[in-house]
Amino acid sequence: MYFGFDLKMRSNMKRTIIVVTTVLAALLFGNKTFAQDDLVRIFRWYIPEDQQYCTVADGEYQDGQLINWGWTDKTQIFNAYRTPGAGRVAVYGWYNPVSRAHISVAEDEYTDDQMLKNGYTQKHLQYYALTRRGPNTVCVYRWLMSKRHAWVTIPEDIDTDVYLKKGYHHKTYQYYGVFRSVDAPIYDQL
């Protein structure tokens, strides 16, 4: 009888250890997954018909839809966050039907009234960006091409000579993006 009780006790103990280990692993990996899932890739698309650029968060539109509209040259420019948090600012996309300009504006840059008075409509939340420089971040600027009233979002690590030659100027600081490389797992800890 003592031997049977001992086997039962060992079996229960093994199950308990497996359950506890599984729960701890789920919690540990769950936090990492959340950090990865909270990041969203930010792309710049070129619109040849309007000779303008548009900043788009991954999932904001379907790629096929943008390609059907004639948009080309999809380029990832940085990462941002899907959810609000400490040290983050909401970034909204706006569209001007007269100039056909697309612009991404941080919530504290201009009021909705100012944007509407300048002819912008279709305000929609795109992502949340960092307000302070930190590890693995990149400063993000917006540039203006006055003659077309076109905007382009450019991180500091991109060669801006191409945009200067196209007539973009009036560089304005916006926020910080997350610079994330696929082969750098340390970035997942953000």
Higher pLDDT, 133 or 182: 133
Q: What is the pLDDT of residue 185?
A: 45
pLDDT higher than threshold 80 for residue 15: no
What is the three-state SS of the chain? CHHHHHHHHHHHHHHHHHHHHHHHHHHHHHHHHHHHHHEEEEEEEEECCCCEEEEEECCCCCHHHHHHCCCEEEEEEEEEECCCCCCEEEEEEEEECCCCEEEEEECCCCCHHHHHHCCCEEEEEEEEEECCCCCCEEEEEEEEECCCCEEEEEECCCCCHHHHHCCCEEEEEEEEEECCCCCCHHHHHC
Residue 107 has pLDDT above 70, yes or no: yes
Q: List the structure tokens of 171.
A: 């560089």
The model's pLDDT over 25-65, given as tens digits with 9 standing for 90+, comes to 444 444 443 455 789 999 999 999 888 899 999 989 889 98
| Dist CA 73 CA 142 (whole Å) | 18
Write down the pLDDT at residue 135. Answer: 85
Q: pLDDT tens, 116-160?
A: 999 999 999 999 999 999 888 999 988 888 777 788 888 887 777
Q: Rounded CA gap, 69 and 112, in Å?
A: 27
How is residue 90 written in tokens?
A: 């909401």
- What was the pLDDT predicted at 126? 96
Query: What is the percent of the chain where pLDDT is above 90?
Result: 45
Q: Tokens 């093994």 — which residue?
A: 14
| Of 148 and 113, more confident | 113
Mean of all residue pLDDT scores within the chain: 80
Do residues 173 and 138 touch, judged by C-beta distance below 8 A?
no
* Per-residue pLDDT, 184: 44
pLDDT of residue 157: 74
pLDDT surpasses 70 at 181: no
Q: What is the pLDDT of residue 14?
A: 65
pTM of the model: 0.73
